[in-house]
Structure 1
Amino acid sequence: AVPAPTKPYYVTTPIFYVNSVPHVGHLFSGVLADVLARYARLKDPNREVYFCTGTDEHGLKIQRAAEAKGVPPKPFCDGISTRFEDLAKAAGLSHTRFIRTTEPVHYKAVEHLWRELLAGGWIYKGSHSGWYSVSDEAFYTPNQIIDVEIDGERVAQESGSRVEWMEEENYKFRLSAFREKLIEWLESNPRSEHEVNDKGEKIYTHPLEDLSISRPSSRLSWGIPVPDDPEHTIYVWIDALTNYITALGYPWSGSGGKQAAWPADIQVIGLDIVRFHAIYWPAMLFALGLEPPKTLLTHGHWTMDNFKMSKSRGNVADPFKAIETYGADAVRYYLMRNAPLVTKSDWSDAQVKKHYQRDLLGMIGNLCNRINSEKLVAKLPAAYRYRLSGKQMLRNMGNVQSNEVNAPVQEILFETLGQFEGKMDTLEVNKAVALVSELVERANSFFTHAAPWSETDPVRVAEAHLYAHQALHLSGILLHPVMPTKASELLDRLGVQPGQRTWAYARRTFGSPRSNEHGLETPWIEVCTRPDNDRPTTPLFPRLS
């Protein structure tokens, strides 16, 4: 029998709202999704990977922001969406689709989805009243509202956004019909983070009411009109959520093509939009007869001075400035090393600088410089250095025996790959990156203790070089999804060939050591040293000015 084709891997970011320019929180969501996409490609180069990001451009908040600027909504959106696209490029995102909800193809997808829901009996027209937040683009029930004593206003308990009372006739979606199915889906998903809101409460604690999914066009004109009823505009979240399947060519006919990538493997979202993605979105998909996403990867917020970054508050870190100062890969490393996957993380320029100087410049860059130094390379055995014109294979170095100096680095060298894979497979990216940091730190410590620069035995010099080289080699492979440019440059400096940069090679070389009477025995190891006339003259990680 012919095996079934592997399902394409599909990861998405939330599409970013264009009421203002991007901040570091947006950059984090994009980099997190990019790391997962690159990791999927690393593990299986033959598997097709789709990665979608983009901008959400409709709604009352956009309409009002454009009015305040004195420009029509579309040009307003064009300018800010371009900034998000520029950020994706500056950060080195490998997305396959940058989608905008103002694209004609998306209009057609949303209109088709609406007609499908209507034909299925899931949409009806009725009156609606409730507390509405323009900031959140959402209605809230009375038990989701609290009074603020200072100014007498009412705010949404979940987001803290101001609400106002509204009564209107609109279309509704029969959300209440899916409560039991939603609970079953949420509780069967191996990740529980998406079951709670940013107050730590179960999102299905309160009864589900039918969802208002249109707004009078007299109040909201900037959006997609309800098919056959121009007096109403489709609710922005129905519009926005549809982007995830628009990007795969929805509406679909037949099977195959990009449709095969659905359901999404990972949908990266922030805590403030859990309700929309863990209730509204799967309910819409159930109504359409489609599968819900496999996993919602919910992350906490980036803060400054312990306040959530907010464009309205003005406490946002400029991602373009950070990338210009430290380089894209260094910023990516910091974001993943400190990823707020359960709790919040505080952005600090001082901390970014500290990680750059300690982890990148001080550990990876320093060790790379040390093993590539002209004096050290000159002390290596000739057979180690020059066989096959500087690129050579060395087996076991005469069965290097474990000793008190090399045992710690030998042990971690063969443990890290499996541990890294385990953390990535459970989406604990920050812990996976920490494992690589620990490996490089251990290799630096080993190299210092081995002191090959003062060693007279060429074999011992080669042993020190071997373990340090292999630690950096493995680190370069594992860090490639996180720092694609710098990881490639590191491997270049080590003389590592394309066939030695793959996951299959890492598994074969670092996956499981063999043991013999002397202790751990290294597998077949390919050691590459660059020719003397091909040594870089600039540091891998330059000192910060």
Structure 2
Amino acid sequence: MSNSTFLLRHLNRCANPKAFASPGYPTLASLRRLQTRSHIRATAAFYSTQPVALDQAEKPYYITTPIFYVNAVPHIGHLHSAVLSDTLKRFQELKGRKALLSTGTDEHGLKIQQAATQAGLKEIELCDKVSQRFRDLFDAANISYTTFIRTTETRHAITVEELWNQLWAKGYIYKGQHEGWYSVSDEAFYASTQVEEKINEKTGEKYHVAIETGKQVEWTTEENYKFKLSAFAEKLLEWLEQDPDAIVPRSRHEEVQGWLRNGLSDLSISRPKTRLTWGIPIPGDDSHVMYVWMDALANYLTVVGYPWKDLSESEKSVCGWPADAQVVGKDILRFHAVYWPAFLMAAELALPKKIVAHAHWTQSKMKMSKSIGNVVDPFTAMQEFGADTIRFYLMNDGGLADDADYSSELVKQRYKKLLAGQLGNLLNRSTSTSLNPQSKVPAAPLKDNIQPGDKELYLKLQLLPEVVDQAMGNCRTTHATQAIFDMLGEANAHFSQNEPWKLIKDSANKERVDTVLWYALESVRMAALLLQPIMPTKASEILNQLDIRKDERSWEYIQVGRGWKKDAEARRVIPGTLMFPKI
């Protein structure tokens, strides 16, 4: 097996940690040697069927989801993170850029150890089971990930060990006594200022919780390794002040700046093995294992082949680092916007270009909780409404700054009013054989002869690509969908006001009927092209019905009048297909 073949296999699928003991697979030591230049050349080959000159290759757009903790099965919030990341990745591809999307599962830590014990399973058995559930979900939701990473993979241990060694060599790790409030649920220590006292209303018992997450904490004293996080408060502040778009939305950017202005304490980055066994051992000290967040965050480097030994800067860029966008839920913002960039600064690695911290989903205005029983099962939701409908709902209603309330009734409303009522209705009207018996696409009206009654719709069509581009550039998928359906609302109104079913009764009106039909078809075409990142399957079906060829579905064709240019006379739309049937 060639180095490239081996690495491609392991870069782009979830590896079984035991597989490296099988015949034909390299040892850990030999894998370390492979994870250098061969990785980069294999990655370059993955993006092109033609030979790639590494020093001339374009850096792919690299976007990540958080990796998901396997102590519980996935919920709708996990799916939201994945769909948002996938939508942003597909949008880059729509614009002609090569893109990487990584997702996966976080499989170490005390919560995993405890959950496995409670389930009567070995830790790896629990990880295998739940990790596969996440993979099944993302496959069902048509998430176009290029890598599904598991932190129990051998390649990840190599990356984590290298990152630790770099921080140790540069003097940012030391061993010391640690006292503080620790949350098992968050896998994190908290300062006294981050903790508040609560009283159990039933028993009167006092306990403490982390203010930020609401999770219970306990006072803990232990010896462990610590990272000099306190040395990076000013550097992190300078980074955010110089780049106001480093964290979106703006409210999260300001929130992180507030944390940094209050100063940072050094961070515990190991746990004694007497307390935690399920983790990556500390290099040179098997009595400690890696703090789960340092382990987990390093996955973003594992995916792109770190460490990059003996590579030029142009060769490094081919693998994708730095990440262009890292999508996270607001509950893990501190880990990604404070700890992670501090680790990268300490290792002298480039920082992510953007951290996208989205809000949460509630139900009946209450936070979803297993104990309350209001957690939405994403598998059930997709079975009921279809994957593309749920993807659309999450991108149309899901918030960045503010939490959104999940409701099956709202999903039905969006489907009926927008997907079926606007997009599907216009598609059916514009392909009707009663108005267009030959199913031809009429010629586009001349740009210098736009009729007064068509100007409003023409202007919306003309401006739509720019509006959507700006919205997606700011990760505001809701603004993008609103612009698309605002245009479709205008297109439906335009169709109704012109009443082509009446005009067609007089042959003298043929030219006007053709113009009205063309505007309707063009509106559907542009909407479907722009909806491809959000609803890839349904958008493709609509474009097929409109006889839009595969090579006419990229960004350059999302302009008024760019459709059906080639062999126009031979093009035929397909009538009678009910794209959005009643639920």
2:273 corresponds to: 217
Match of 2:179 in 1: 129
**Residue 362 of structure 1: aligned partner:** 421
Q: 2:168 aligns with which of 81, 105, 118?
A: 118
Whole-Å Cα distance in 2 between the matches of residues 245 and 71 of structure 1?
30
Unmatched 5+ stretches in structure 1? 379-384, 511-521
Question: RMSD of the alignment, in Å?
Answer: 2.3
Residue of structure 2 aligned with 1:76, choices 106, 126, 138: 126
1:419 — aligned with what?
467
Q: Does 1:485 align with 2:537?
A: yes
Instruction: Return the match for 1:316 from 362, 369, 375.
Output: 375
Q: Please, which moves more after superposition, 491-500 or 216-225?
A: 491-500
1:535 matched residue in structure 2: 574
Deviation at 1:229, TM superposition (A): 1.0
Give runs of aligned pairs for residues 437-448 of structure 1, distance below 5 A: 437-448=485-496
| Alpha-carbon distance in 1 for matches of 2:57, 2:395 | 32
For residue 168 of structure 1, what is the aligned residue in structure 2?
A: 222
Match of 2:390 among 301, 310, 331: 331
Show CA shifts across 1:160-219 (max 9, x none). Answer: 000001000000111111111111112222235478669957221422111100001111
1:89 is the counterpart of 2:124? no
Assess, with a 3 A threshold, how the Cα gap between structure 1 residues 490 and 530 changes in structure 2: closer, same or farther: farther
The one-letter code matched in structure 2 to 1:458 is K
**Of the candidates 164, 177, 189, which is equivalent to residue 139 of structure 1?**
189
In 1, Cα distance between the equivalents of 2:278 and 2:253?
29
Q: Deviations over 1:439-459 (max 9, x none)?
A: 111111111111111102111
Q: Show the 5 A alignment for 1:445-460.
A: 445-455=493-503, 456=506, 457-460=509-512
Corresponding residue for residue 549 of structure 2: 497
- Aligned to 2:259, what secondary structure does the other structure show? coil
Match of residue 203 from structure 1: 259
SS at match of 2:278: coil
1:474 aligned partner: 526
| Residues 23-102 of structure 1 mapped to structure 2, 5 A cutoff | 23-44=75-96, 47-102=97-152
Cα deviation, 1:240-259, whole Å, max 9, x if unaligned, reads: 00000100111112142676
Greater CA drift, 200-209 or 423-432: 200-209
Q: Structure 2 residue aligned with 1:21, among 73, 82, 89?
A: 73
Secondary structure, counterpart of 2:436 in structure 1: helix
* Contact 1:144/1:156 (8 A) holds in 2: yes
Q: How many equivalent residue pairs?
A: 516
Match of 1:382 in 2: none
Letter in 2 for 1:223: G
Question: Take 1:248 and 1:434, find their aligned partners in 2: how far apart are those partners?
Answer: 35
Which one-letter code corresponds to 2:387 in the other structure? A
Q: Is the 8 A contact 1:60 1:137 kept in 2?
A: yes
Structure 1 residue 182 corresponds to structure 2 residue 230? no
Is 1:51–1:96's contact at 8 Å kept on the other side of the alignment? yes
Structure 1 equivalent of residue 14 of structure 2:
none
How far apart are 1:540 and its partner, in Å?
0.7
Distance 1:168 1:94, change over 3 A: same
> Among 203, 206, 210, which residue is 1:152 paired with?
206
Residue in structure 2 matching 1:264, options 318, 323, 327: 323
Per the alignment, residue 360 of structure 2 pairs with 301
Q: Which residue is 1:243 aligned to?
A: 299
Alignment-derived partner of residue 443 in structure 2: 394
Distance in structure 2 (CA, Å) of the matches to 1:3 and 1:443 = 48
Change (3 A) 1:159 1:442: same
Q: Match of 1:517?
A: none
Residues 71-119 of structure 1: CA distance to partner in whole angstroms, max 9, x if unpaired?
1111011111101000110110111000010111111111111111111
Q: CA deviation at 1:530?
A: 8.6
Q: Does the C-alpha gap of structure 1 residues 34 and 343 become closer, same or farther in structure 2, counting only changes over 3 Å?
A: same
**Alpha-carbon deviation of 1:526?**
3.6
Q: Identity of counterpart residues, as a percentage?
A: 45
CA distance in 2 between partners of 1:491 and 1:159 (Å): 45
Aligned counterparts of 2:56 and 2:168: Cα–Cα separation in 1? 35
The answer on whether the counterparts of 1:11 and 1:50 sit within 8 Å (CA) in structure 2 is yes
Where structure 2 has 5 or more consecutive residues not aligned to the other structure, the ranges are 1-53
Looking at structure 1, the residues matched to 397 and 518 of structure 2 have their Cα atoms a distance apart, in angstroms, of 31
Q: Match for 1:410 among 428, 433, 458? A: 458
Does 1:278 pair with 2:337?
yes
Q: Deviations over 1:469-505 (max 9, x none)?
A: 1111110111100111111111111111223322112
Output the amino acid matched with 1:434: Q
Deviation at 1:400, TM superposition (A): 4.5
Say if 2:324 and 2:354, in contact at 8 Å, map to a contact too: yes
CA distance in 1, matches of 2:448, 2:352: 49
AA matched with 1:541: F
AA at the equivalent of 2:549: Q
Q: For residues 222 and 312 of structure 1, do their structure 2 counterparts lie closer, same or farther at Cα, with a shift above 3 Å needed?
A: farther
Mapped partners of 1:187, 1:91: distance in 2: 37
Pairwise CA distance, 1:4: 5.7
Counterpart-to-counterpart distance in 1, 2:552 and 2:481: 21
For residues 413-438 of structure 1, the C-alpha deviation after alignment (integer angstroms, 9 at most, x for no partner) is 11111111111112211101110011
Q: Give the whole-Å Cα distance in 1 for the aligned partners of 2:370 and 2:152.
A: 22
Tell me: CA distance 1:398–1:252, structure 2 relative to 1, closer, same or farther (3 Å): closer
Displacement of 1:539 in angstroms is 1.1
Q: 1:49 to 1:524 in 2, by over 3 A?
A: closer
Give me the TM-score of the superposition, normalised by structure 2. 0.84
CA 1:529/1:37 → structure 2, altered by over 3 Å: closer, same or farther?
Answer: farther
Q: Distance in 2 between matches of 1:470 and 1:481?
A: 19
Residue number in structure 2 paired with 1:291: 350
1:316, distance to aligned residue in structure 2 (A): 1.0
Deviation string 1:310-330 (CA, Å, 9 cap, x unpaired) is: 345542101011111111111
- Judged with a 3 Å threshold, the aligned counterparts in structure 2 of structure 1 residues 132 and 259 are, in CA distance, closer, same or farther, namely farther
Specify the code of the residue in structure 2 equivalent to 1:540: M
Contact 1:252 1:259 (8 Å CA) reproduced: no
Instruction: Tell me how far 1:393 sits from its aligned partner.
Output: 7.9
Match of 2:24 in 1: none
Q: Give the deviation of 1:142 after TM superposition.
A: 0.7
Residues of 1 paired with 2:260 and 2:370: CA distance? Answer: 29
Structure 2 equivalent of residue 377 of structure 1: 436
SS in 1 for 2:206: coil
Secondary structure at the aligned position of 2:209 is classed as: strand
Amino acid at match of 1:535: I
SS at match of 2:214: coil
Q: What code does the residue aligned with 1:204 have?
A: L
Alignment CA distance shift 1:234-1:259 (3 Å): farther
AA at the equivalent of 2:451: S
Could you state the TM-score of these two structures normalised by the residue count of structure 1? 0.90
- Taking a change above 3 Å as real, the CA distance of residues 122 and 416 of structure 1, as seen in their structure-2 partners, is same
- CA distance change for structure 1 residues 525 and 199 in 2, over 3 Å: closer, same or farther? closer
CA–CA separation in structure 1 for the residues paired with 2:158 and 2:575:
53
